[in-house]
Structure 1
Amino acid sequence: MDRLPEEVILHILSFLDVPDVVNFQAVSHRYLAPGRDNTFWKTETFTHSRAEALRRRQQLIDAQDSRLAELRNAVAALPGSDLTAWDVAQLRGSTQPRASSDPVAEARTQRYRALVSWEPGYPNEKLNYYEEFVHRHAAINTGWLSLPANHATDKENQLEATGVAILHDHQQNGPQKVVAPLDDGSICIWDLSARSTLSFEGPGALLAQTRRGLLTGLSPDATTENHIVMTETGAVECVAVDSATQKGYFAMQNRLHEVDLATLQLVSTKHYPWPITALSEATDRTPITIGTNMTVHLHDPRDAAFASSHSSSGGELIGGSVYSHATLAQPGPLAILHHNHAHPDESSIWVAGRFTSLLNYDRRFFPRLRGTIHSGARIACLSSLPYPLISHELDLVRNPEASISALSDARNRQGTTMMAAAEYKGKGSLELYGLPRVQPYQNRQTASASKLLSVAPHGGRIVFSDGDGNLKWVERDGFSHVRTFNINDKPASTNTASATQDASAYGIWSSTASEMPGQGDIVQKILPIRPSPSTHNVASSNSTDRLDINQSNLLLWTGDGALGVLGFGPRHPLGSAGEQETWHDAVETLAEEAEQRAKEDAERQYNLAMRRALERNADEVRFVRGLGMGYQRG
């Protein structure tokens, strides 16, 4: 084997199952490179994709007897079938033009068309398809950052995060840090440094915390007052971090605080006449866009006049300030998006929220409105992908008339895809807009049964969260489903009594909201720890500090104020820190006194017995309800 060229080794690997190929990588350094060959894993990822499944189904349908058309029509007419219009057409026996009369050549051609149509990568993008395969099929694990304890006696022991942002290191593969304000008015910073071959420290450690009440200006002992002030507005996009200057901007009610993250000192405070509801990203080259309940402002930290701590009165703002502002016809901006500097139109500002249109401003001529895009939905989050949106008309699988050359030309164009997580008539709406030429696509059928809360690019996929606690991954077309994970899912308990209790907790007598389906926690913000898919390339072979292959994790901020890291594979996403935490929890559990455990078990058994008795009584009430009421005297 050592004398064989890599081409022969790759051909041998094509006959092995995926688990065997993964184990093959650990044999020696010689086999690591062919075991992670990008072309090989691209083929494997496509083989397990929905596009290939559709192609195989179409091939089987074409090979079936024509007399099965009635059975196919009956299947297509079943209620609740999760089929697209194209799928129904295929089930009803629609034929496609054949490229060749030879069945083998026809199957090879159709497979190649499906592969070209499915490929998520763009010509100038380097996707790691081994990591893509891991993210699509490996087990999902979540690790939660340890928030400081609340020493007050009238509230919970755990503090809540009221916002979150990531402090990126400008160096390649540098440390990543999480910055979050807490409901006691303090600011905390955690370490999320990726594990590498030279560093085995697990991320998730708390690095620093400011004094309580720093953002509210209240006493550290005023716990209740701090909590009310920090949670009154409830804005999701309330933290912006400039990684180049190590500055953080925190919106709290109608104030914008600038904090030096290196020293954790308050630099300046800017007052606005209405509560701040959204902040844009912060960079050292462009001003920050601030959305209040009724206005949109530009805040340039480089200008000393913007850093004035004197508040502006509402009358001055309405009558006209020295620095212009945009007045909104409808209140409630929730998301603001800036184009990156690689985009030809980097001065564009997009504002969306509770109103049903996306507003486009030009920073050079602010506050003049450049244009609008009518959505009809209420948008909670905006994100972007630095690649053009491919029209569904160019889908080579669903549209046999589309050509490969037209799809290739569309992929080579310059453009940006703006993504929006929205709610339309009570259901989730995933919306994609191709820019600069507006090409809208709105998935309001299969995105979610509840409103969408956040959306972000994740490798060659798009990930979004909904109001039921689900995280869903779809292809970049915004439609093809990849996988789903619910943050409220817990592994089955090994304790029989506990399992019985969980199984019976959904009755009419259940009093715990978290035990009810759909009543658990939600993810209100998703942040990729390695945000740009184009910058997270395969590590070079001559790198002395090679990054682990599975480090494109997601930072989650839940509705309960918890911060977590979602990772893939059997290893804990927080590395050794998470494993040590799990080990300490196990030791503490084993160290409990036997008397205390017996008492808890007795209480559990009593609760189960009372629950069963009440449920039997409720069943009897339902059974006899209405008996003897059928006869009515005329």
Structure 2
Amino acid sequence: MATLDTLPSEIILQIAHSLSPLDIVTLQFVNRRLLDLGRDDTLWREQCFNNSSFLTNLRRRRELITSEDVQEPGFRDLALALASGNGIGDSRLAQPREEARDLKARSNERIRIMANWDPSYPDEKVHWYDEYIARNAPISTSWLQQPRNRESAEHEYLEVRGMGLYTPAGEDDATLVVAPLDDGSVCLWDLSGTKGRKGGIIARSKSGLISVDPNSQDATGKRSKMINTGVTECVSVDSVRNRAYFAVQSGLVEVDLETLSTVSHERFPFSITALSEAKHPVPLTVGTNLSLYLHDPRTRRAGGGTGDPTRIDSYDTAFASLGSSSSSNFRSLLNPEPNPQYAHLHHPGPLSILHLPSSGDEWDGNGEIYVAGRFPSVLNYDRRYFPKLRGTIHSGARLCSMASLPYPFASMEKDLARRGELTIEQIREAKTRPGKTLIACGEYNSKGSLEMYGLSPNPILSTISSDFQAGSLQNSAMKNRQTSSSSKLLSVSNHGTRIVISDGNGNLKWLERDGFTEARRWNIAHGSVEAPRGIFGTLGDHYMDSGSGDIVIKLANTHSGRTDKPVKEDDLVLWTGEKIGLLSFSGKPGFTADSFEDHGNKTPEELNRELEERTYSETMGRALEANANEVRWMRGLGLGLGSS
């Protein structure tokens, strides 16, 4: 051991390069020095490259170099570079037909290929050890404690009607989940275990707190007037001010997360369909069916809802509520002429609103607003000149979720890099140019559509619009409508150096930043002790075959981007429309539903009987589903024209 401690770090790292990933992890347990060296970024970056589907696809495409007809030196250099990766490669490529090539040329070619794959940017800090874990480690799904109805004798489970992440003061990453429940209450869960049991409920408001009519005494009426079904972006959390905003039909309810009491309740002319991120001091953007509003709580009118938590305030416009508006005011809402108080939408149904700062990642109160939804283009507004429309990005798809990267995107360079054809100089130039990337997902002709757009820092060139030099960014748009998903994409988010998307089949798919190369995939029915329940109970592995079960409507990353985070704390929060789960890179879930159950005074016999009943329900569910699949498969066989 003394001899090993005296070895230079370069020699130890050279030895580590010849070890398997499992052996490198074992080496980290020897002492602190080997722990630091065993997590070297260069070492794990190469491990990620060696295990990437990019390299597998590249080898497939270059198999033609083994034919007798291919004699070009460039192809031979590539073959030898692919075959010289520490014993990883096709053995057929490791046997050159001519004399051995120069080792330096091989090394340079391998460096060039790795640079084509590398998804990181020059000023981006990446922990490649965490990246390897996220790309290759087992995945498990843990479901947060499901709240129960306190006003019912049966205490049945309540559905979770939205989701937002909350980072309290003093925390670096999101540690709490905020969500409205079916009874009109607001619930908080602990993700980290620092304020209570991990995955458990730590606070819950009274029922009916965020219903449309807080003065109603009818519990049934409150539940029927909760958040609109189909509105995904219905919760927005401002962690700086400890406030959460909930879209409830046409009302916007502001709740103090420290006291779980209503601060204000403002009404809009139409039902709210999307909320932007709430980040102080930038005003919240509220999207209704036919209009957009900038909501700034600092400009609330005197006599607002701060004094009386049950008071319903009207939005400060000339037509605050449809009930008291005259017919002429209602016609004014549908008037396409610009209005200084709101932006009129010519097509109804915004589903996602994204804020981008004017420079870098710093929020200065300025910046851009991007709106996507049930219309063929992404709308772009400048907050300083709102409500004037600055430009549009034509998509043609129905988009429902957006994300962004503070790095440039050029589709032509990404396509060439995906095939390993760029030089190191070309890669450096593409990654150092200014700009941002807009990522969007949705549906196009019943299939999933993942789209990426390069945004220029020049305000005139930031959008693809007929009004502003339409051809200036013609090479900066990528639309993957072939391999992203066979069903509608529901949500998109950044996850490390990858893009993660969810689809209508319950699948999660991680892609490289080119939008095409798949890093890995997962289905939420796997890796969970309590598999998602369908209408006939738990479906387990059979879920993958049937295509039924829960789907991830919205996903969010708990990691805020800090560089000193502990290993394996880059989790994803999943919302299925009924409950919330936590996806972790671990061999087993961190908690289960039984972790939160209070069995009270139940005897072992009663608990065993409940288990038997649940098992019977699950078995019957699988049997009925298998029978339904058989009926569908046999339908029409041998029945002639009378079958349907």
Please say whether Structure 1 and Structure 2 have the same fold, judged by a TM-score greater than 0.5: yes
2:564 is aligned with 1:520: no
Report deviation, 1:227: 2.7
Alignment of 1:39-438 (within 5 A): 39-58=42-61, 60-66=63-69, 102=101, 107-151=106-150, 157-169=156-168, 171=170, 173=172, 176-193=175-192, 203-216=198-211, 217-218=213-214, 222-305=218-301, 309-310=313-314, 312-314=320-322, 315=325, 316=329, 319=332, 324-340=341-357, 342-343=359-360, 346-393=366-413, 395=415, 397=417, 402-436=422-456, 437=461, 438=473
Measured at CA, do residues 31 and 305 of structure 1 come closer, stay the same or move farther in structure 2, by a change above 3 Å? same
| Cross-structure match for 1:85 | none
Q: Deviations over 1:605-625 (max 9, x none)?
A: 999999999999999998875
The separation in 1 between residues aligned to 2:296 and 2:247, in whole angstroms, is 15
The separation in 2 between residues aligned to 1:394 and 1:42, in whole angstroms, is 19
AA in 1 matched with 2:314: H
| Cross-structure match for 1:88 | none
Describe the SS at the equivalent of 1:453.
Answer: strand
The separation in 2 between residues aligned to 1:36 and 1:359, in whole angstroms, is 44
- In the alignment, is the contact (CA less than 8 A) between 1:113 and 1:397 conserved in 2? no
Measured at CA, do residues 44 and 583 of structure 1 come closer, stay the same or move farther in structure 2, by a change above 3 Å? farther
Report deviation, 1:30: 2.8
Describe the SS at the equivalent of 2:183.
Answer: coil
Report deviation, 1:226: 2.7
Measured at CA, do residues 593 and 125 of structure 1 come closer, stay the same or move farther in structure 2, by a change above 3 Å? closer
Gaps of 5+ in 2: 71-98, 306-312, 462-472, 531-537
2:559 is aligned with 1:530: yes
| Cross-structure match for 1:554 | 572
Counterpart among 566, 571, 581 of residue 595 in structure 2: 581
Report deviation, 1:66: 4.2
Report deviation, 1:520: 1.2
AA in 2 matched with 1:280: S
AA in 1 matched with 2:583: L
AA in 2 matched with 1:211: K
AA in 2 matched with 1:351: V
Describe the SS at the equivalent of 1:245.
Answer: coil
- In the alignment, is the contact (CA less than 8 A) between 1:331 and 1:354 conserved in 2? yes
The separation in 1 between residues aligned to 2:629 and 2:52, in whole angstroms, is 45
- In the alignment, is the contact (CA less than 8 A) between 1:473 and 1:483 conserved in 2? yes
The separation in 1 between residues aligned to 2:243 and 2:617, in whole angstroms, is 52
The separation in 2 between residues aligned to 1:612 and 1:298, in whole angstroms, is 51
| Cross-structure match for 2:490 | 453
Measured at CA, do residues 226 and 54 of structure 1 come closer, stay the same or move farther in structure 2, by a change above 3 Å? same
The separation in 2 between residues aligned to 1:326 and 1:176, in whole angstroms, is 35
Q: Deviations over 1:171-203 (max 9, x none)?
A: 46366211111111000111223x7xxx79763
- In the alignment, is the contact (CA less than 8 A) between 2:441 and 2:449 conserved in 1? yes
Describe the SS at the equivalent of 2:547.
Answer: coil
Measured at CA, do residues 606 and 340 of structure 1 come closer, stay the same or move farther in structure 2, by a change above 3 Å? closer
Measured at CA, do residues 125 and 621 of structure 1 come closer, stay the same or move farther in structure 2, by a change above 3 Å? closer
Measured at CA, do residues 132 and 310 of structure 1 come closer, stay the same or move farther in structure 2, by a change above 3 Å? same
Q: Deviations over 1:416-464 (max 9, x none)?
A: 1111011001100000011124421111110000111100000000001
Q: What count of residue pairs does the alignment treat as equivalent?
A: 561
| Cross-structure match for 2:310 | none
The separation in 1 between residues aligned to 2:240 and 2:437, in whole angstroms, is 25
Measured at CA, do residues 269 and 218 of structure 1 come closer, stay the same or move farther in structure 2, by a change above 3 Å? closer
- In the alignment, is the contact (CA less than 8 A) between 2:228 and 2:249 conserved in 1? yes
Gaps of 5+ in 1: 68-99, 494-500, 507-513, 540-546, 630-634
- In the alignment, is the contact (CA less than 8 A) between 2:415 and 2:514 conserved in 1? no
Measured at CA, do residues 221 and 362 of structure 1 come closer, stay the same or move farther in structure 2, by a change above 3 Å? same
Measured at CA, do residues 156 and 517 of structure 1 come closer, stay the same or move farther in structure 2, by a change above 3 Å? farther
Tell me how large the CA RMSD over aligned residues is.
Answer: 3.9
Report deviation, 1:21: 1.1
Identical counterparts, % of pairs:
39
The separation in 1 between residues aligned to 2:161 and 2:220, in whole angstroms, is 15
| Cross-structure match for 2:89 | none
TM-score, scaled to structure 2: 0.78
Q: Deviations over 1:484-543 (max 9, x none)?
A: 1111236799xxxxxxx979x98xxxxxxx797222111010110014xxx332x3xxxx
Report deviation, 1:385: 1.0
Alignment of 1:493-504 (within 5 A): none
| Cross-structure match for 2:584 | 567
Report deviation, 1:27: 2.6
Measured at CA, do residues 224 and 30 of structure 1 come closer, stay the same or move farther in structure 2, by a change above 3 Å? same
